Every structure is written in structure tokens, then in C-alpha cells.
Amino acid sequence: MPSRTGRAAPLPPDARRAAIIEATLPLVRAHGYAVSTRQIAEAAGVAEGTLFRAFPDKRSLIEAVVVSAFDPRSGVRALQEIDRAAPLEERVTTMVELLRSGMESTWQLFAALRASQPGDVVQSHPPMSRFEAWDVLTAAVAEVFEPDAHRLVVGSNHAARVLGAMVIMASRPFGDEAMHASALPLEEIVDVFLYGLVDRDETRPSHPSSDRSRSC
């Protein structure tokens, strides 16, 4: 946060790097590699020289931004803040919003990088793969289901995996505008996840995998 003099308040090196990365993320999402160090410095409230004391060059900063995009910790914190006493449908709606927002943010970031410099690949090394990060988020989603675990026909972990898969396929935030426009409304994702597509008055047939899934 800039001080009243317009200069950034003193921060430890790691905190300064984190603040710069946070300020840079929306700029890279919008401009890709074309973002300028001047834009970044203004957004972070620092001088351009401060950027290069924190990072060797602009590319190193962009690589750090990409690493941060795979970090599931902010998503986990947001999931942990969901009120467990809220109705199940409300909690599922919030989870879908959070998961969809996170995925769209990451896809927009990579789309902007590809569009601004086709063929170039950022050589970033996230502390965990995107699959590992997704597993961490899935575990946090499962915890949100726990207060209603007795109502589910599958285990909380299995429900979390199903919800994640539905959000990925129903959101479709990749490809051209026509594909993006075909994304399912949030309310429909929640409704299908919780209540399915068959008549709710019909008797649900027993399924041999149901008992096994409860323990997953």
C-alpha cells in the first residue's frame, strides 16, 4: 500500500515480492507479456527500480506470477471461510462461484500470455503441480460438505470430486467466445449437482457403487 507521500511503505523483501506479484497478476491477465514495468510499478505503488531489486527482470516477475496462479492457498482460505451453518445449497453455490472464478482467472492468465507472445512458454516451477493443487482444493471442498455428510449418497471426498468435475466442464472458460457463451449458469450447475436431472418424485434405484462411494 503506497504511503501518503506516494512511496511504498517499507516491507521485508518477501512481503515486498508478494505485494508486487499480487499487483501484477491482474495486469498480466489483461496484457500478457505486453505489460510494462511502468504499469506494474504504478499498480504496486513502487518505483520501477524497486521492481528490479525484488526481481532480476520482467520475465522473472511474470514467472513468479504464474507460480502464484497455481498456489491453492488463497482458494483454500476462501473455502474455509464458508459458514458451515449455512444451508447446503448456499454453501454449494459459494463453492461453485469460488472454483469457477479461480479457474477462469488462471485460464485468462495463460490465454493472455499466449496471445501476447505466441510460442513462448514461461519456465515457471510451481511448488506443486496443477493436479496436486486441485487435490488440495478438493480436500477443502470436502470439508465444506462434512456438516451434511449424512445426507449425501456418496462420501464427502467423492462429492467434492464430482462438484469439481462439473464446474470444469460446465464453465468451459476456454476456447472462443461462442464456447464461453455456452457455459452453464451457476444456478443450473448447483441444481443439477444437488438434485440431478430426473423427476425428484421418482424412487431412486439402488446403485451397487453407492455404499463404496460413501467411504471415498
At 154-176, the pLDDT tens digits run: 999 999 999 999 998 887 555 54
Mean pLDDT of all residues in the chain? Answer: 84
Question: What is d(CA 81, CA 209) in angstroms, rounded to the nearest whole number?
Answer: 32
Percentage of the chain lying above the pLDDT 90 cut: 56
What residue type is assigned to position 137 of the chain?
Answer: L
Percentage of the chain lying above the pLDDT 70 cut: 77
Buried b (16+ CB within 10 A) or exposed e, 73-89: eebbebbeebeeeeeee
Q: How confident is the model at residue 216 (pLDDT cuts 50, 70, 90)?
A: low
- What pTM was estimated for this model as a whole? 0.77
Give me the helix-helix angle, 156-171 and 130-145, nearest 10°.
120
Q: What is the DSSP string of 54-78?
A: HSSSHHHHHHHHHHHHT-THHHHHH
Question: Tens digits of per-residue pLDDT, 38-93?
Answer: 999 999 999 999 999 999 999 999 999 988 888 899 999 999 999 999 999 999 99
CB 91 within 8 A of CB 7: no
The domains of the chain, with CATH numbers, are 13-67 (1.10.10.60), 71-214 (1.10.357)
CB 63 within 8 A of CB 123: yes
Q: How confident is the model at residue 121 (pLDDT cuts 50, 70, 90)?
A: low
Has residue 193 got a pLDDT over 60? yes
Q: Report pLDDT for 9.
A: 65
Residues composing the chain = 216
> Which of helix, strand or coil describes residue 2?
strand
Q: Report pLDDT for 116.
A: 83
What Å distances lie between residue 53 and 1, 2, 100, 147, CA to CA?
18, 17, 35, 48
Q: Which helix (H) or strand (E) holds 46?
A: none
| Helices and strands: H and E segment counts in the chain | 11, 0
What residue type is assigned to position 70 of the chain?
Answer: F
Question: What is d(CA 106, CA 29) in angstroms, rounded to the nearest whole number?
Answer: 8
Question: What is d(CA 67, CA 126) in angstroms, rounded to the nearest whole number?
Answer: 5
CB 62 within 8 A of CB 41: no
